[in-house]
Amino acid sequence: MNCQGCGVELDPSEEQVNATVDQVLETSLKHAEKTGGVCPLCGHSKEAPYSQKKSVLFALLMICLSTLLGAALVWYRSRQTERMSVVNAAIVRMSSNPDVVGFLGTPITAQSGIEGEVKHDETGWKEARLTIPVHGPRGDAQVKVIAGKGSDAWVFTNFEVVFEKVHKKLALISGRIVEYDPRAYVDVHTPVFGFP
C-alpha cells in the first residue's frame, strides 16, 4: 500500500526500514563530522563541554588560589602596618625622652625580631602587646609596650625600656629608672596606667 500524495510505501518491510535508517544515519554521521562531532541520535558532542575541560577547571582553580593568596597577603600586610604604626609611635616617644636618649643616643631605630601582635575587638578598639628590639649609637635595648587605640593615636598603658648591658630598666610612663637583673625573679608586676 502506497501513499496517494507522495507515493511512499506505507507498509515497508524491515529491510526497507533498515536501509532507510542506515542511509539517514550515514548522512547524519557525515554531517556530524563537519559540525564538530554531535551525535545524530542523542545530540551530545563527542568533546567534553567547555566548562568540564581540564584546562578550564585548572584555570578556575588557579584563579581561586590566587584570589585567596591575595586576600591573605592584604590581611597580613594590614596587620604588619598596624604593628609598625605602634613601633613608630614608640620610637617617637623614646626619641623625645632625655633618659632614653642618654642611654641610646639618637637616632633610635627598631631592629628585626619584633614580637607580639595587634588584636581587634568588635567595637573597633585595637590593642597591641609588643616587644621591640631597638638600637641607638650608644647601645641596644628591649622595649616592652602595651598600647590601645580607638580612632585616635596609640595610648601606651605600659612602656618599659630595658637596657640589658647597664642593667637598667626605665618605666617610661612613670619616669622611674630601676636596677634590672634579667635573672631576678619578679614577684608581682603591676603596670602603671596613664596618658601620654
**Per-residue model confidence as pLDDT tens for the chain (196 residues):** 566 667 666 676 778 777 877 777 777 766 666 665 666 555 566 565 666 667 777 888 899 998 898 888 776 665 667 788 888 888 888 888 888 888 888 888 888 888 888 888 888 788 888 888 999 888 888 989 988 888 788 888 888 888 888 888 888 888 787 777 666 655 555 555 554 4
Torsion, Cα of 90, 93, 95, 99 (10° steps) = -110
Separation CA 106–CA 93 (nearest Å): 12
What is the sign of the dihedral through the CA atoms of 148, 149, 155 and 160? positive
- Which DSSP state fits 38? B
**Does the model's pTM come out above 0.75?**
no
**CATH no. of 62-179:** 3.10.450
Residue 27 pLDDT = 73
Cα distance between residue 94 and residue 182, in whole Å:
22
13: its cell numbers: 518491510
Which value, in Å, is the radius of gyration of the alpha carbons in the chain? Answer: 39
Provide the residue ranges of all domains of the chain, joining segments of one domain with +: 62-179
CA pair distance 159, 174, nearest whole angstrom: 9
